[in-house]
Structure 1
Amino acid sequence: MSSSFRAPPVPPFEISLIAVSEAVCKQKKFIALVTAAVGLIAVAYAFIATPEYQVSSVLRPAAINELDALNRSEIYALPPGEALTRVGAALESYETRLGFFRENQKLFKEFERPGRTLEQSFEEFNRNSISLSLPDPKKADILSSFIRIEMNYPKDVDGVTILNGFVNYAIATEREHIAADLNVIVKNRLNELNGKLKAARSSYDNDKEAKIVSLQESNNLRRAQLRDELKALRTQLKTERADRVAQLNEAIGIAKSLGIRKPTTPTSLGEADRVGTPTTMRTEVNNQQIPLYFMGSEALEAERSALQQRKSDDFTARRIGEIAKELQLLENNREVEILNSRQNEDVFLAGVQSLRAEAVRLQGLDIDMSRLKLVTIDKQALEPLNPIKPNRKLIIIFGLLFGLGLGVAIVALRSILSQQRAAVPVPVSLVNNSMV
């Protein structure tokens, strides 16, 4: 027996909201059970989840007088805004955070995990726990306003001590960097000043040496000139003495030929032949030089003998004594001796007073960096009153709402499925076949 079956077209299915509403009203207990179950799960999670707390600290620019000692040094300028920015950079620095982590490992025991290195444990802490809010560098009015640093941490971690310690550590680290920079700058400035003083000292030594050489050269030149003059003068005197002896020899010969033995005059010589003439005294005045032989042979021979026995003619010229005096004075140059006997030659350096004053100022520069206040801690981290995670009230409310929605959705879905099954017609042929 065979039969053919053709399914009639299924009419379009329409959901009856009234039926769904009635089903929801009838299944209140079921919805309440689902809501309670999900609510219990939310309550369990809210109380079982590890609480997470948050602390924060706010830094603001230091007062101008706090940085006055550093800025008055005239070698390192640090405005309050720049100091705040530098501290913020230190707080943001990976190296600074890792340094604090290494020096305070006892505070970070909760962040350590088996099989992880120290750096790996720090990486998790650094990535998830600390956040920094820096001012916008494009806005000058906000640049020096504040810096906020926040830290999230689990229940068993001393977050207040960690954050306050980290802030103080970053400030101390930046203070050490500034002190190191200051020392380097002062050292470089002193080296520069010492170099200038050394150059001035070298220039002075060169000038002094040149002056001494110049003085000695001048003395040697003058001494040589005086000796040459003395030699020429002595030669001249010797020549004059020889000429005088020759003149005397000639005059002696004439005087002997005239029979003049004693000094006489031309007039007296003319009247010597007159006999009986009474002795008279005459004064002779003329403008002509009397010949030398009128001195008489005796006087002329005496002078010639004296000239021939003379061993030196120095006493006859005054200039020889003057030359001897000058040569004696030139034996010792007192100016050269004084230049060579200087003990503290630095006092004679020219144009170095300002350099010395600056060097003394830099050497006496004493800035107590331990008391240098780079920033003002406007708000320190305080122990939080409540955790930020989990928010138990919100979780419980959300769980109850989710459970209620889930219960209503389940009931509504079951009602819709029941309506769909009821709306599908059963074929007659299937009923007849089942009867046969």
Structure 2
Amino acid sequence: MSSSFRAPPVPPSNEVDLVELFQAVGAQKKLIAVVATAVTLLAVAYAFLAKPEYQVSSVLRPAAINELDSLNRSEVYQLPPAAALIKVGAALESYETRLGFFRANQTLFKEFVRPGRTLEQSFEEFNRNSISLTLPDPNKSDLLSSYIRLDLNYHQGIDGVAILNGFVDYAIAAEREQIAADMTVIVKNRINELEGKLKAARASYDADKEARIATLREADTLKRAQLQDEIKALRTQLRTLRADRMSQLNEAISIARSLNIQKPTTPTSLGERPGTASSVMRTEINNQQIPLYFMGVEALEAERVALRKRTSDDFTEGRIAQIARELQLLQTNREIEVLNERKNEDVFLSGVQSLRAEEVRLRNLNVDMSRLKLVTIDKQALEPLGPIKPKKAMVILLGAILGLMLGLSIALVRYLFTKKRNDKAVGVQPLGRLN
């Protein structure tokens, strides 16, 4: 009886022998050295051939309080030091301010100008990554923690110091001009507001004056009408009294004629008989009013004639003279004349003294904006001692490390690839057939 037996193949082992691995990597030390040397040489070439990049910085801090005192004491524009620093920082970060500086100083940016580019495109290349701004923390209000740091990165051939210092000065000047323009507008608006209030006060005064004059004239007209009515009534009354008096005289003359009284007499004398002589002197005391006819015909007729010839009874009443005097005074109202003859009526306006004082103060306001110090330049940009990029020693060291790691990686990959291929090629031979 014969049988055939074939042993199963032994699967390759997935475990890596570290000793064998180190030996295999050591056997490829020339490859590792070549790769490391090549990468290091590339790093050396980059370190010495790359265009150096430099950095300059400037630091701004809040100005002293006395630097802004003249502006704040104007009571027109309030600007604390911290707020002034933030305004300057906003100007430094403003695209418009940067573009304005770029346009005003094109000689400093000639390295950024390229054929076929517009001015704005050349500026965009500069503005994209060149300037970085660090603003103060808005949650901190103390002056020590408030600052603005401005960094400028530039390549060799560009005057970064002049650009950064010039840009800081330009932004401060632009913000100063903006504050001056704002202040001019505010002062002008306030003066216009004060002038409007003064015009309103003048209009109110004119209305009050016209109302006062109208009131006075109305009062004069009313008083004149009342006096004229009164004098008319008095004259009517006097005419009536004269007519009554003439009627009384007519009656008394008739009685006197009937009694044959030609001369003024008394009741006692009338009672004596004619032809009686007496040497006695009589004194008559009589509390009763003597009738009018005792005046005699002659006196009564004389009075009647005088009354008939009278053309006016005004002299008999003192009130008429007083009325004539008052009417004469009413012909001219001196208060109205004084009101109309006022030359400078502004002095009579009430409640405008403070407005005039404020207007004069604003018109004479003189804040020297050219000497206004918005911020303190704590640090100006200075020529750097060396480039920030590339750092040659670090680049060469990193190149050597990366070259060594790359060489080791290549050697390891070669070892693993070779081992895998050998494992596939080497197999277990079949055992002989058993009989």
Q: TM-score, normalised by structure 1?
A: 0.89
Amino acid at match of 1:326: E
Question: Within the alignment, does 1:155 sit opposite 2:152 as a pair?
Answer: no
Q: What's the secondary structure of 2:262's corresponding residue? A: coil
Shift of 1:15: 5.3
The 5-angstrom pairing of residues 35-50 of structure 1 reads 35-50=36-51
Partner residue of 1:176?
177
The 5-angstrom pairing of residues 14-93 of structure 1 reads 17-18=18-19, 21=22, 31-93=32-94
| Distance 1:426-1:256 versus aligned 2 partners, 3 A rule | closer
Q: What's the secondary structure of 2:175's corresponding residue? A: helix
Rounded Cα–Cα distance in structure 2 between residues aligned with 1:352 and 1:251:
78
Shift of 1:325: 0.8
Partner residue of 1:366?
366
Question: Within the alignment, does 1:342 sit opposite 2:342 as a pair?
Answer: yes
Shift of 1:163: 1.0
Deviates more, 1:110-119 or 1:312-321: 110-119
Amino acid at match of 2:39: V
Partner residue of 1:106?
107
Shift of 1:153: 0.8
Shift of 1:226: 0.9
Contact 1:80 1:144 in 2 (8 A): no
Deviations 1:347-372, CA, capped at 9 Å, x for gaps: 11111111111111111111111111
Contact 1:136 1:143 in 2 (8 A): no
Percent of aligned pairs sharing the same letter: 68
The 5-angstrom pairing of residues 31-430 of structure 1 reads 31-141=32-142, 145-275=146-276, 277-278=277-278, 280-411=280-411, 414=414, 424-425=425-426
Shift of 1:20: 5.6
Shift of 1:30: 5.6
Rounded Cα–Cα distance in structure 2 between residues aligned with 1:124 and 1:189:
45
Contact 2:62 2:143 in 1 (8 A): no
Deviations 1:169-202, CA, capped at 9 Å, x for gaps: 2212222222222222222222222222222222
Rounded Cα–Cα distance in structure 2 between residues aligned with 1:141 and 1:57:
20
Q: What's the secondary structure of 2:56's corresponding residue? A: strand
Rounded Cα–Cα distance in structure 2 between residues aligned with 1:383 and 1:344:
68
Rounded Cα–Cα distance in structure 1 between residues aligned with 2:34 and 2:426:
35
Q: What's the secondary structure of 1:58's corresponding residue? A: strand
| Distance 1:312-1:404 versus aligned 2 partners, 3 A rule | same
Partner residue of 1:3?
none
Deviations 1:40-99, CA, capped at 9 Å, x for gaps: 322222121111111111111111111111111223221111111111111112222222
| Distance 1:231-1:412 versus aligned 2 partners, 3 A rule | closer
| Distance 1:410-1:256 versus aligned 2 partners, 3 A rule | closer
Shift of 1:330: 0.8
Q: What's the secondary structure of 1:296's corresponding residue? A: helix
Q: What's the secondary structure of 2:77's corresponding residue? A: coil
Q: What's the secondary structure of 1:113's corresponding residue? A: coil
Deviates more, 1:240-249 or 1:21-30: 21-30
Q: How many residues align?
A: 424
Rounded Cα–Cα distance in structure 2 between residues aligned with 1:416 and 1:321:
147
Contact 1:61 1:144 in 2 (8 A): no
Deviates more, 1:41-50 or 1:211-220: 41-50
Q: What's the secondary structure of 1:81's corresponding residue? A: helix
Contact 1:35 1:404 in 2 (8 A): yes
Shift of 1:27: 6.0
Rounded Cα–Cα distance in structure 1 between residues aligned with 2:332 and 2:375:
71
Rounded Cα–Cα distance in structure 1 between residues aligned with 2:143 and 2:415:
62
Deviations 1:269-312, CA, capped at 9 Å, x for gaps: 1214243x135543211011111111111111111111111111
Q: What's the secondary structure of 2:152's corresponding residue? A: strand
Contact 2:137 2:146 in 1 (8 A): no
Rounded Cα–Cα distance in structure 1 between residues aligned with 2:413 and 2:269:
186
Deviates more, 1:294-303 or 1:21-30: 21-30
Partner residue of 1:434?
none
| Distance 1:377-1:358 versus aligned 2 partners, 3 A rule | same
Rounded Cα–Cα distance in structure 2 between residues aligned with 1:247 and 1:184:
93
| Distance 1:403-1:294 versus aligned 2 partners, 3 A rule | same
Shift of 1:398: 2.1
